[in-house]
Every structure is written in C-alpha cells, then in structure tokens.
Amino acid sequence: MRTILHVDMNAYFASVEQASNPLLRGKPIAVGGGTGGKRTVVAACSYEAKAKGVKNAMPSWEAQKICPELIMVAGDMNKYIYTSIKIMDLLREYTPLVEVFSIDEGFMDVTDTRERFGGAVAIAKEIKKRIRERFRLTCSIGISYNKLMAKLAGEIKKPDGLTVLRPEDIPGKIKDLPVSDLCGVGGKMEKYLAAIGIKTFLDLNRYPREKLVKRFGAVYGEQLYLMGQGRDDSAVLSGQVEEEAKSMGHSYTLPRLTADLNEVKGYLLRLAEQVGRRLRRDHYKGNVVHVSLGFKDFKFWSKQKKIEDHLDDGYEIYKVAEKILDANPFGGPFRFAGVSLSNLVHNADQMSLIEQKESAKKILKSVDEINDRYGEFTVERAAIMNTVLQKKAGMVSSRAFHYGY
C-alpha cells in the first residue's frame, strides 16, 4: 500500500509577508494587487484577518469595512515563488517523488523511502519543524494511502495540523466532512450534489453508483463514486519525467452565472494567455484550438477548429477561440469556460519570413523573461487586467488537459 503525504502551507502569501516583516506578525493582514483602492481584491489573508471575517477574493473596501484594522500589503509573487521552490527542494530530500500541486502545496510519495526516515509520521513532523525553523511558516500535512485521501486528511486540521487517514478510517473518521472538502468538488458541484441529498462524505459514500452515473455521466459519475469510496489510483508526478504532451489547456468555473459574452471572452483570453505561456515554456506549438463551455444544469458544449499555423501565442489562440465561442448555439448563461491546444509539435520553432511575426516572437520572449524573473503576469496585456481568476472558483490546469464532453 502506498504512503502519500500532502503538504499544504497555511495562509501562504500572508504568512510569507508576516515572516519577512516582524511588524506584521500577529496582525490581520491581506495581500492584494496594491495597498488600497476599490479595485484591489484580497488575494490572501492571514488567520488573524480570517478570524475577523475577511475572506479571499473579497474586495479590499469590503474587507476593511469588516476589519478596520486590516493592513493591506502589496503582493510580491517573486518572493512567494522563490520560497515555494525552496520548500519543494526541502521535500525532495525525503523522496524524489514530489508533485508540485500549486504554489503552496505538494504531494509526496514516500512509499519507498519512509522506513529510511523512521516512517511517514516522523517525516511529517520533521518537515513541519524544518519549515517552521527555516522559513517561519506553518503547514498542515495529511498522510494517507492515496492522493485524494491525503489531501482530505490535510483539510481536517488547520492551521499547523497533522492527520493520518487509513483505509479502515473510511468512511467513519470523515463521515461528517462536507463533500466540498474533496479535491475536485467545487462550489457548483457542491450545489448539484446537495440537490440530490449529498452533503457529507458519508452521503457520497452511500450513494448508488448507477444513480451518480445517470446524473453526471459515465466519466464524472464514476469518478464521484470512486471518490466516495476513498479510491484514487493517480500517481504522484514528480515533473522530472514527463510524458510527451498531447494537448495543453486551462479551464475555469466562473464565480457566478453570467450572460455577458464579453465577460466570458475576458476569461477566455486570460486562459489562452496561460496556455500560451506554458506552451512556450515547454517548447510546444499546436494547431487545433478547442473551446469548452458550461451552462446551468450541468450542460456542456465544445467545439474545435484546426488552423494552418502552429501557435504558441496566447492572443493568437484566443482569436481562434473567440470565433468558436461566437458560434455556440446556447448563448448563455455561462458558468464554465475552457480552452486547449492540441496536435502539438515539440521543438519546432522556425524563423518566419514575415517581419511582424518575428517582432511579435521577440516581444513574447521578453515578456516571458520578465515574468520568469518577477512572477506570473508581472507584465500582461491590458485587455485582461480586470479579469481575475479566483482560486476558490475552481481553476483547473494540467499538462495534458483533454475535454471529453
């Protein structure tokens, strides 16, 4: 049986700011795009701020109304990325199988190395101690027999928690946990599940497989059933050995239903820019653009278009996606948008005879270099500056993202 650890940094952005500035420690702080103003949004907040009612993605003016003593701090993505890299390096001292799940969390497969360090609990305690001493940060660690349960275990006690979930603990130890604590169940899915009486892990555990498949389809219905049984066979992907990508994409569940097509296009543009960024980073290009849209009542629509040129420019990808979007037969309201690029070629960059294209490539290269050094979207297109992807709403990304609706 595998032994998986999920390491989740507590209130990461805010905690890094407090660790680097003693004057902020123990005080309610919020990290945002600036130090104030009506357009500033709380990207992350400290536990002291959360205790006052401040929440992530809340407008700063609302947060400061709830908590007048709140200190707004301008985010420093370069600092967060640098610290994250150092933390992940620390985790790799215990196993080479470390999967960076996000900037503030990662999975570790210690199945083959646990005995060398005295067992999984000993590893977790040592990691927590070293992170506290070196970075002045705390983390919550979940230990279990697969990734799904390890992440769920880490949610049970925060901050600074350490929880073990064994097969015999399922479902008894977690029967009352809200189903939204499961990785993959976002706000919208939580509502759909609640509508059929599934609110806790035990509810999902006891719900008949055939009814889940009938309601949510063969793929996702089966996935929900397996989640309810505590089953997950996915491997911890270290990122050091990657399969040749077949497609790259991003999708996003909107924070609310909207019938505004221009708003959806704003999200689609940001998603396409992120796809382009990853394509260039991994030296891929593709010529099949695929757009997926989700509507209320869990209905989806998708369509793809093959073009002549292979692309890695997010804006060029978006222009194709925009034409596909305009052709959707439903019109809205929308709750989900996704864009991917497939039919990829690797290391196939060629100089163009068109001067304008070569100039655009140089600009993209310069932008990538700045963002690599100072953090994602330090430089970005003006058209997407007002489009914010809220983490809580369920943004999904993967190296080989396939849409199968």
Q: Which residue type does 4 have?
A: I
* Token pair belonging to 401: 């993202």
Residues forming beta bridges with residue 45, ordered by sequence position:
30
Q: What Cα–Cα distance (Å) separates residue 52 from each residue in 29, 33, 57, 191, 266?
A: 11, 21, 15, 27, 33
Give the active site residue among 105, 155, 273, 322.
105
Q: What Cα–Cα distance (Å) separates residue 125 from each residue in 94, 150, 157, 319, 366?
A: 12, 15, 15, 50, 43
For residues 140 and 127, the answer to whether their CB atoms sit within 8 Å is no
**Which of 310, 299, 160, 145 has the alpha carbon at shortest distance from 229?**
145
Q: Is 17 a catalytic residue?
A: no
Helices (H), 181-260: 187-195, 201-206, 209-216, 218-228
Sign of the Cα pseudo-torsion (245, 393, 183, 405, in order): negative
Residues labelled as active-site residues: 105
